[in-house]
Amino acid sequence: MVQKAWRALHFVMHIVEKGNKNTKSLAYTSLVRPILDYGAACWDPYRECQISALDHVQNKAAKFAHHSGGSNWESLAHHRKIADVCALQNVYWAAGMERGRG
Q: Are 54 and 40 in contact (CB under 8 A)?
A: no
How many of the other CB atoms lie within 10 Å of CB of 21?
12
Q: What is the pLDDT of residues 47-75, one digit of tens each?
A: 888 889 988 999 999 999 887 666 778 88
pTM equals 0.75
Q: What is the pLDDT of residues 68-100, one digit of tens each?
A: 666 778 888 888 888 888 888 988 888 877 776
CA pair distance 97, 34, nearest whole angstrom: 29
CA pair distance 68, 13, nearest whole angstrom: 15
